[in-house]
């Protein structure tokens, strides 16, 4: 089924539309926005990723939404849920354009995604992977009620894994 529109107060999360490509490409090629990811993406890679996001549904390994300001109908960024590598885990994904940082949009979007994951997915745990020096993301994980669970390492180095329960009442 198609992804639902998720109300996050001043913002809402909706499935991607073709018209979002230019804004999405700008976000994914912004050195500041992508500093704690794999870095700015080439346009061809952004285009391939965007095509995958256009066909996301609620049953796939990744569910991705555009974060949109309700009143201005402005694209603020990207968020999503990706099936984790461990049983029962789903990873929270969030990237906003730097001009929209520190306005509460990321927190609102993340909270709404966690609420959705709690009620509409089979997962029991939400995780967030964070670079050890990414203070804003660490603060966000804490505000979401997530706690440091483990350190992991990949080809780019060590990173933190924050986790929280998706079971109601926990």
3-43: pLDDT as tens digits: 999 999 999 999 999 999 999 999 999 999 998 888 899 99
How is the chain split into domains, by residue range?
6-165
- As a whole number, mean pLDDT of residues 55-63 equals 90
CA 106 to chain centre: 9
Confidence of residue 139 (pLDDT cuts 50, 70, 90): very high
Asked whether the CA dihedral 113, 89, 51, 157 is positive or negative, the reply is positive
pLDDT of residue 170: 56
- Give the closest residue to 145 by CA, choosing from 160, 131, 159, 125: 125
Residue 124: pLDDT above 80?
A: yes
Burial (CB count <10 Å: 0-12, 13-18, 19+), residue 99: exposed
Residue 169: pLDDT above 80?
A: no
Q: What is the pLDDT of residues 87-119, one digit of tens each?
A: 999 999 999 999 999 999 999 999 999 999 999
Please provide the CATH number assigned to the domain covering 6-165.
Answer: 3.40.630.30
Confidence of residue 77 (pLDDT cuts 50, 70, 90): very high
Model-level pTM greater than 0.95?
no
Mind giving me the DSSP string for 78-117?
Answer: EEEEEE-SSTTEEEEEEEE-GGGTTSSHHHHHHHHHHHHH
Tokens standing for 67?
A: 């974060």
CB count in 10 Å sphere of residue 149 = 15
Pairing verdict, β 74-83 and 89-96: antiparallel
């Amino acid at each position: 089924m198609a992804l639902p529109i998720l109300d996050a107060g001043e913002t809402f999360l909706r499935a991607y539309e073709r018209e979002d490509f230019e804004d999405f490409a700008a976000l994914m090629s912004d050195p500041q926005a992508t500093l704690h990811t794999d870095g700015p993406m080439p346009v061809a890679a952004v285009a391939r990723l965007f095509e995958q996001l256009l066909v996301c549904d609620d049953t796939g390994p990744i569910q991705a939404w555009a974060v949109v300001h309700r009143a201005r109908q402005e694209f603020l960024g990207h968020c999503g849920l990706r099936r984790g590598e461990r049983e029962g885990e789903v990873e929270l994904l969030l990237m906003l354009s730097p001009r929209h940082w520190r306005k509460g949009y990321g927190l609102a979007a993340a909270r709404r995604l966690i609420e959705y994951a709690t009620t509409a997915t089979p997962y029991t745990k939400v995780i967030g992977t964070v670079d050890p020096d990414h203070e804003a993301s660490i603060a966000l994980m804490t505000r979401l009620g997530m706690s440091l669970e483990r350190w992991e390492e990949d080809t780019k180095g060590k990173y933190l894994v924050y986790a929280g329960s998706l079971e109601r009442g926990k």
